[in-house]
Each structure stands twice: as structure tokens, then as C-alpha cells.
Amino acid sequence: MKERRARPPPHQLPSPSAGESREDIVRLYHQAWEHSDRTITTLPLDATGHVPWWPEERSEVTLHHILVRVITDTQRHAGHADILREHIDGSVGYLQNNDSLPTDDQAWWQDHRSRLERVAREADKG
């Protein structure tokens, strides 16, 4: 964001490295989180900025646009993480008794999971 020049990040993001520890990654995440929280509370939603890696014709954005984009991306990728977790531990849902699920029929879930995997593989070919 243009105002970012007045609020530069507290540090330069390092290049990803196999030597990074979990603690390094979490610390960096917390630093970015604190900086973004301060930016959100300091700037108005219509504050404009520039995303240098986006195409020039779309690189001028508002803080509102960026916030909606981050929420959308987080929702989508959190869903991806949930799918991975389901494949790892076999559990589904977010409530202890799975009350949030449409059914507890394991055959239904296996069929559902198979359909999702097939669709994902077909999309990957495309």
C-alpha cells in the first residue's frame, strides 16, 4: 500500500529455508500479524496502496480490497488444510460429536471423499 511507505514492515521477509525451525516460522508469522493489525487500526478502509507483484492495471487497491482478499484466501486454504487433516487422521467435522456433519454413515463419507478426489484430479489435468 502507498501508506506502507509510512508504515514499513518491521523486517525484510527471509527467503524460505529448509533450516527454519517451527519457532522461526511462528515468530515471523506473529510479527507480520502484529504489523497488519496496526495497519488495519491505523488506516481507513479506503486507503489506497500498490501490490507490486500484481499486473499494473490491477495493482492499485484499497485496504478494504486487501482485507476481503485475505479473508477469502484464508477461508479457501483453511478448507484445504481441513481436507488434508481428514486424510491424515480420518476425523471429520469441527464438533466433538460431529453434530455439524450431514451424516455419520461411513460409506456415504467414503463415496463423498472419492468424488472430491476425482474432481480434484480432473481439475489438475485441465
Mind listing the pLDDT tens digit for each residue in 114-123? 888 888 888 7
Query: Which pLDDT score is estimated for 78?
Result: 76
Query: Which pLDDT score is estimated for 25?
Result: 84
Put residue 44 in one of left, alpha, beta given phi > 0 → left and psi -120 to 50 → alpha.
Answer: beta
**What is the 8-class DSSP label of residue 50?**
E
Q: For cell 479457501, what's the residue?
A: 76
Query: Which pLDDT score is estimated for 96?
Result: 55
Counting as low any pLDDT under 50, the low residues of the chain are 1-6
* All structural domains of the chain with their residue ranges: 2-91, 93-126
Give the total residue count for the chain. 126
Query: Which pLDDT score is estimated for 7?
Result: 60
pTM of the model: 0.54
Cα angle 103-106-109, degrees, rounded to a multiple of 5: 70
Q: For cell 485441465, what's the residue?
A: 126
